[in-house]
Amino acid sequence: MLPEWKAAPLASPRPSDLRAWFDGLRTGGRLKYDKESREWLRSGTDGLSVDSLRYVRTIMHQALDMAVEDGMLARNPLAAIRLPQARPRQVEPLTASEVRRLLAASGSHRLHAFFALVLLTGARAGELLGLRWDDCDLKAGAPTIRHSLQRVKGQGLVLGAPKTPASQRRIDLPQGAVHALREHRKAQISERWDAGPLWQETGFVFTSEVGKPLDESNVYKRIWLPMLAKAGLPPRRLHDGRHSHASLLLDQGANPKVVQERLGHADIRTTLQLYAHLLPGAQRREADKLDAMLAEQDEDTGAADARARRTDGGAAQNKGPGCPRSAGPLCFARPLFGHSGPAVHRGHSLEALVCLELEAGIEPATYALRVRRSAD
C-alpha cells in the first residue's frame, strides 16, 4: 500500500481511483522492490486472492476511519468499494481409516508423537513445533498452546504468539496421544545422552536428534510427505491433518463449539464455514436422537397416565356430552409434528384424554403432552 499511496494527498483518492488500484492488485500481482531501478514494480504474475484483497481493504478502511474521526476527511472513500465475496475454502481431510493407516505407518518413526498430535489435537503445525515440555501436563494429558514457531525472512525461526488470542488454549488428549508423548519424552532423553556436547537444550518437544528446533517446511517435505507415501496415501498438506481432526470430531456428532475451542478459532463462524459440508450427517444423527428422546417421553407419559387413572378414583365429572371436566383444570399442548388426533380442550382430565384417544382409535400416550396445573 505505502509505495503507491504514501505520497498522495490524504483527500485525493476517489472511489474510482481505489477501484482501479484494487483491480491492479487482483490482476497485476504484488508490488516488489527492484534493486536495479530502485522502484516498486508489480510482479505481473499471480494477482492477490480475494481473501488478501479483503484484508488489504480492511487495513486501509481502518486507517481512513481514523482520519475521518480526526476531521481530516469528510467521509471514507473506501465505503463505496465492494469486493467479491471469498469462496469457501474446500478442505480435504483424511478419513478415519486413513488416519489409522498414517499412525500405523509412523509408529516406528522418532516423530511418531508429532503425527499423533497433528491428527488428534487439531493444533497447527507451527503450534506443535513451538510446544515446550513446560507446556505439557502429561499427568492430566493436556498440553497448553502458548507459542507458534515460524520462519521469518531475515530472522530464521522465531518463537512468537499463536495466530489469535483464542489460539492460546488447553487441549485434552486421547490416551493414545498421551502414551505417544510419554514415549517420545523417553526417546528424547536417550537422544540427549547420545548427542553429548552436541545437544542444544531448547526445551522444545519436537526437535532434531541434537535438540535443534524443527522447520515446518522441512518437516512437510522430508517427513510428512514420505510418511503419507509409506502409508499408501496421496500427498496432502500438513495443514490437512488439522482438518482431519475436525472432520473426525464432527463425524462423531461433536458440538461445533467444542471443535472451535480445540482448533483455536477466534469465531465459531470460521469453524462452521470450513466444515459446513460435514454437518448434514450430524444433523441426521441429532434428529434421530430427538426421535429417541420423544419416544422415551411418550413412554413416561403413558406410565404417568396409568398412575393417574388408578389414583383419580373417578374424580372427573361430566360437564356436557363429549366434554368431561375434572375438578382440577389441566392444560395440554397440541400433538407434535402435526399428527391429527382427538380435540383436546382446556380442563380435560388425563382419564378423559385417554378415553378420547381410544374413541378415535389411537393408542393412548402416542403424543408427547406437556401437562401443567393452571393457577386459575
Write the DSSP assignment of 62-77 as a string of letters: HHHHHHHHTTS-SS-G
pLDDT of residue 126: 96
Residue predicted with more confidence, 364 or 254: 254
Q: Which of 3-7, 78-82, 91-95 holds the top average pLDDT? A: 91-95
pLDDT of residue 90: 67
Three cell numbers written together for 84: 467479491
**Partners of 99 in the β-ladder:** none
Beta carbons within 8 Å of 6's beta carbon, 6+ residues apart? none
- The span from the CA of 60 to the CA of 57, in Å, is 5
Q: Both 198 and 126 in a single domain?
A: yes
Give mean pLDDT, residues 313-320: 46
Residue 158: give its domain's CATH number.
1.10.443.10
Range of the domain at 328: 284-373
pLDDT greater than 60 at residue 359: no
Q: Both 60 and 164 in a single domain?
A: no
Q: Which of 48-57, 60-69, 115-124, 335-344 holds the top average pLDDT? A: 115-124
- Please report whether residue 272 resides in a domain: no
Give mean pLDDT, residues 255-282: 84
The tally of CA atoms less than 13 A away on the side-chain side of residue 192 is 15
- Residue 288 pLDDT class (50, 70, 90 cuts): confident
Start-to-end CA distance of the chain, whole Å, equals: 71
pLDDT of residue 305: 66
Calculate Rg over the CA atoms of the chain.
Answer: 32
Give mean pLDDT, residues 105-132: 96
Q: Which of 33-37, 86-90, 255-259, 360-364 holds the top average pLDDT? A: 255-259
Is residue 233 a contact partner of residue 98, using CB atoms and an 8 Å limit?
yes
Domain tally, the chain: 3
Residue predicted with more confidence, 101 or 327: 101
- The span from the CA of 284 to the CA of 206, in Å, is 40
- What is the DSSP secondary structure assignment for residue 33, as one 8-state letter? E
3-state secondary structure of 356: helix
Q: Both 304 and 219 in a single domain?
A: no
- What is the DSSP secondary structure assignment for residue 314, as one 8-state letter? T
Residue 10: give its domain's CATH number.
1.10.150.130
- Residue 280 pLDDT class (50, 70, 90 cuts): low
pLDDT greater than 50 at residue 112: yes
Q: Both 192 and 257 in a single domain?
A: yes
As a residue count, the chain comes to: 376
Q: Both 257 and 295 in a single domain?
A: no
Q: Both 143 and 227 in a single domain?
A: yes
Q: Both 220 and 327 in a single domain?
A: no
Q: Both 133 and 239 in a single domain?
A: yes
The CA distances from residue 137 to 124, 161, 173, 222, in Å, are 19, 20, 10, 29
Beta carbons within 8 Å of 237's beta carbon, 6+ residues apart? 220
Q: Both 186 and 239 in a single domain?
A: yes
pLDDT of residue 344: 46
In the chain, what percentage of residues exceed pLDDT 70? 67
- Which among 23, 212, 21, 248 has a CA at the least distance from the CA of 120? 248
pLDDT greater than 70 at residue 35: no
- Which among 237, 265, 91 has a CA at the least distance from the CA of 163? 265
Tens of pLDDT, residue by residue over 317-357, are 444 444 444 433 333 334 433 444 444 444 455 555 555 55
Residue predicted with more confidence, 371 or 255: 255
pLDDT of residue 32: 63
Window from 8-17, 114-123, 200-209 with minimum mean pLDDT: 8-17
Q: Both 166 and 217 in a single domain?
A: yes
Is residue 265 a contact partner of residue 273, using CB atoms and an 8 Å limit?
no
pLDDT of residue 8: 54
Is residue 260 a contact partner of residue 272, using CB atoms and an 8 Å limit?
no
- Please report whether residue 275 resides in a domain: no
Window from 85-99, 254-268, 287-301 with minimum mean pLDDT: 287-301
What DSSP letter does each residue of 179-244 carry, written as one string?
A: HHHHHHHHHHHHHHHHHGGG-----BSSB-TTSPBPPHHHHIIIIIHHHHHHTT-----TTHHHHH
- Residue 250 pLDDT class (50, 70, 90 cuts): confident
- Please report whether residue 319 resides in a domain: yes
pLDDT of residue 367: 39
pLDDT greater than 90 at residue 233: yes
- Residue 100 pLDDT class (50, 70, 90 cuts): very high
Mean pLDDT over the full length of the chain: 77
